[in-house]
Structure 1
Amino acid sequence: MATIDLHTHTTASDGTNTPAENVRLAREKGLKAIAITDHDTIGGIEEALAAGRECGVEVVPGIEISTLRHGQDVHVLGYFIDYQQEGLHHELHKLRDVRAKRNEMMVARLNELGIEITMEEVRAKQTEPEGNIGRPHIAEVLMDKGIVDSMEEAFEKYLGREGKAYVNPPRISPEDAVRLILRYGGIPVLAHPGLYDDDPLIEELVALGLKGIEVYHPDHTDREIEKYSRIAAELQLIATGGSDFHGERNGQVFHSDLGSQPVPAEALEKLKQLKHMRDNRAKKEL
């Protein structure tokens, strides 16, 4: 039974639950800790921390940064990031501008395919005015219109890497994401490496300061979990994981339910130890 979940999304990006709702759900499911890792934003962290104090659930401030390598999405998680630093807010604003451009390009591509969809309809799916819009919002509109029957079908046919409407404008590299997370006191972890078919990337990022890889993820097969556990041990990386919970859309949970992915509790303890060591080192250098 899972006691921690280190990968969840909220209405601050493309999740359907508010940060507080994620925390309360974690308590209901008996979780001791939950990380808030919204796409390119730290907008949900304060609310989640407040809810965590009220519910008795430990909340890990985090982020999931979207990057591009060899034409495909690569996501880098940052745990215990110093989310209150003004410089970080500025950097993330630039990332969200690229995300907004991508949404518009995807909607335009869908129009070219003869699918009538507007950005206004996509924005209407955004429950948090300051939240990020992402592909799940577009998928939800496609489901409403009967173009697809599920989130999985929306990504497979249109929005995923092999989809007809997939586009990816220039954005920062995974290397830049690792540097950014380190610059603002976070612990960088490569998200769901099994989705990239690019294992050499792991060692390249380790040389820059990567500290973990997401071994336990609902999109990983048992064989991939075994493989990335081995790689984590060989490279002395923290083996993290989580549900990648995005809430429920049209009665369907995407990727998997909160707390459904078993993750060793020691993963969080190792992240906290590493953060403590880095903070102490930074104080000595002042």
Structure 2
Amino acid sequence: MIDLHIHTTTSDGSDEPIDILIKAQQLGLKCISITDHDSIGAYKKLKNTNILNHFKGKLIPGCEFSAVHNGKPIEILGYGIDIDIISSTGIVSDDKFYERENAYLKKMMDVCRNLNLKYSDNLSIKGKYFSTQILHADLRKYPENEKYFTKEIWESLNAFYRTCVNNPDSPFFLDQAKDYLTVQEAAALIKKAGGKSFLAHLYGYFVDDHEDFLNSIVSLNALDGIECYHSLHSMDKTKYLLNYCNEHRLYASGGSDYHGTLKPNVKMGESITNTKIPYDILKPWLPSNVT
């Protein structure tokens, strides 16, 4: 079993990096990758740690980069990256993250005030949580807000992010395109750092036609592969993506998108419930720079 999509406290996960290693060992995972959002902080925390004292498997250096395609924010996973090279670019700077997300949060709080939505006026970015996560959680503290949202948006952070924050017709729209890398730029950065780039969780994006959206990204000839196994992908969708990778000579990856308490139903080492992520998909492209 493997899990190549895991988050820690250096982005919006609840587990410390060393606790991820311990949990992976307990689960008998053969290979993992910590892929925090626009952050390599987990690897800096583990820099002086003897990984094998906690996890006997392979640890692939990774990161989940924010990108944009056709005006929609998406995520690109980079694996086998040189942490020092990524750090030297300044693209995953914590200062840049806080500046951007605090500006987003202020804009959305202004929207709430204009719409007479109830919200806490002392909101701020804490840890590496995104503005959307903080605002959505806060809005749900006040039951009187529920009538202003559809059931899906009210209950799902992903739906709020993908259909409101990413929707130009929504008052919550944020023009993130100017702040994010293009697919080509993200792939070039990952390649510069010696890694391989993969499109993350296709079916997590709210688009009219996922196949067309995927084809438009693949046609850029920038990425090395696709994340096929994921907690948002049914087995039918996983099989479709595995076949797609085979037909288009792309590599396949897979991960749970584990966040700890933020996503309590997502289990490390599994895509959907009781579906383990097989090591075999990693064999064709296993990076050489793994612990």
Identity of aligned residues (%): 25
Q: Which residue of 1 aligns with 2:32?
A: 34
| Cα distance in 2 for residues equivalent to 1:71 and 1:9 | 25
Match runs of 1:23-172 below 5 Å: 23-48=21-46, 50=49, 52-56=51-55, 57-85=57-85, 88-93=88-93, 96=97, 97-117=99-119, 120-124=122-126, 126=127, 131=128, 133-145=130-142, 153-155=155-157, 158-162=160-164, 165-170=172-177, 171-172=180-181
| Cα distance in 2 for residues equivalent to 1:137 and 1:181 | 29
| Cα distance in 2 for residues equivalent to 1:48 and 1:119 | 36
Q: CA RMSD in A?
A: 3.0
* 2:11–2:36 CA contact under 8 A, matched in 1: yes
Count of equivalent residues:
263
Q: Which one of the candidate residues 219, 223, 231 is aligned to 1:204?
A: 219
| Cα distance in 2 for residues equivalent to 1:192 and 1:86 | 23
* 2:61–2:83 CA contact under 8 A, matched in 1: yes
| Cα distance in 1 for residues equivalent to 2:232 and 2:226 | 14
| Cα distance in 2 for residues equivalent to 1:15 and 1:269 | 27
TM-score, length of structure 2 as denominator length: 0.78
- Amino acid paired to 1:138: L
| Cα distance in 2 for residues equivalent to 1:152 and 1:264 | 34
Tell me, what secondary structure is at the counterpart of 2:188? helix
- Amino acid paired to 1:253: P
Cα distance change of structure 1 residues 181 and 270 upon mapping to structure 2, 3 Å threshold? same
| Cα distance in 2 for residues equivalent to 1:51 and 1:120 | 41
Gaps of 5+ in 1: 280-286
Cα distance change of structure 1 residues 87 and 143 upon mapping to structure 2, 3 Å threshold? same
Query: Cα distance, 1:21 vs. partner?
Result: 1.8
2:192 pairs with 1:193? no
Q: Which one of the candidate residues 243, 250, 254 is aligned to 1:241?
A: 254
* 1:35–1:60 CA contact under 8 A, matched in 2: yes
Cα distance change of structure 1 residues 228 and 27 upon mapping to structure 2, 3 Å threshold? same
* 1:98–1:169 CA contact under 8 A, matched in 2: no
Cα distance change of structure 1 residues 156 and 64 upon mapping to structure 2, 3 Å threshold? closer
Moved over 6 A (4+): 148-152
Cα distance change of structure 1 residues 267 and 222 upon mapping to structure 2, 3 Å threshold? closer
TM-score, length of structure 1 as denominator length: 0.79
Deviates more, 1:192-201 or 1:62-71: 192-201
- Amino acid paired to 2:51: G
Query: Cα distance, 1:227 vs. partner?
Result: 1.5
Q: Which residue of 1 aligns with 2:279?
A: 265
Gaps of 5+ in 2: none
